[in-house]
Amino acid sequence: MGFWKSLLLGFNSPTASAVAVAGRSLEVPDQGHGEVYTSDAATDSRIFFSTDRTLDLYELEELCSSVGWSRRPLRKVRKALQNSFLVVSMWEQRGKRRRLIGFARATSDHAFNATIWDVVVRPSSQGQGLGKALMQHTIKKLRNEDISNITLFADPHVVQFYEGLGFNPDPEGIKGMFWYPD
């Protein structure tokens, strides 16, 4: 799972980034949008997904920092979350304390197309299949909304990972393209 070591997706990632907040674990305020992935009664711990987009932006940027993304203005991050069609966060909870360990979001026209951005799993949580679970959860949510065309832009080292999830690179020769100013 070496390609997970520095999971970057999307071209904004190099301009994305980190707020210097050490890995915090917060009180769990609300799990109304939560969906449990794994649970261990013996250790009173579990991993769950949420689609609540009112995230602590500092915690999100600290997560992004953990995989090497650069700093993004929080004002723009907030706006991006508000205007994403889907926001999925992945949490590890021990007792009453939880920690953000993964994230993905998608833009969409709410009808035909969705594009997944900012997929990230905390390095200390990698190698356990959680990235795959995060993506499968994201795909399921998009399919539940009747989105037929799910797309993304994958860095070279994660192409194989996404292929394992059913994504095809350049199907029928279609090219992902990025505009650069002159």
Active-site residues, by number, are 162
Among 25, 123, 132, 153, binds a second copy (CB under 8 A): 153
Tokens coding 156 = 């070279």
Nearest to a second copy of 30, 172 (CB atom) = 172
For residues 77-93, b (16+ Cβ closer than 10 Å) or e, as one string? beebbeebbbbbbbbbb
User: Is the distance from CB of 1 to CB of 11 less than 8 angstroms?
Assistant: no
Nearest to a second copy of 96, 110 (CB atom) = 110
Nearest to a second copy of 20, 178 (CB atom) = 178
Question: What Rg value do the Cα atoms of the chain yield, rounded?
Answer: 16
Q: Determine the interface stretch with a second copy among 17-25, 38-46, 60-68, 105-113 (rule: CB under 8 A).
A: 105-113
Among residues 34, 142, 130, which one has the least CA distance to residue 84? 142
Among 1, 21, 36, 159, binds a second copy (CB under 8 A): 159
Residue 111 contacts a second copy per CB under 8 A? yes
Among residues 29, 32, 34, which one has the least CA distance to residue 47? 34
Residue 149 contacts a second copy per CB under 8 A? yes
Judged by CB under 8 A, the chain residues 114 through 133 that form the site for a second copy are 115, 117
Among residues 103, 120, 119, 122, which one has the least CA distance to residue 151? 119
Q: Which residues in this chain contact a second copy in the complex, by CB under 8 A? A: 10-12, 15, 72, 76-77, 79-85, 105, 107-113, 115, 117, 139, 143, 148-156, 159, 162-163, 165-182
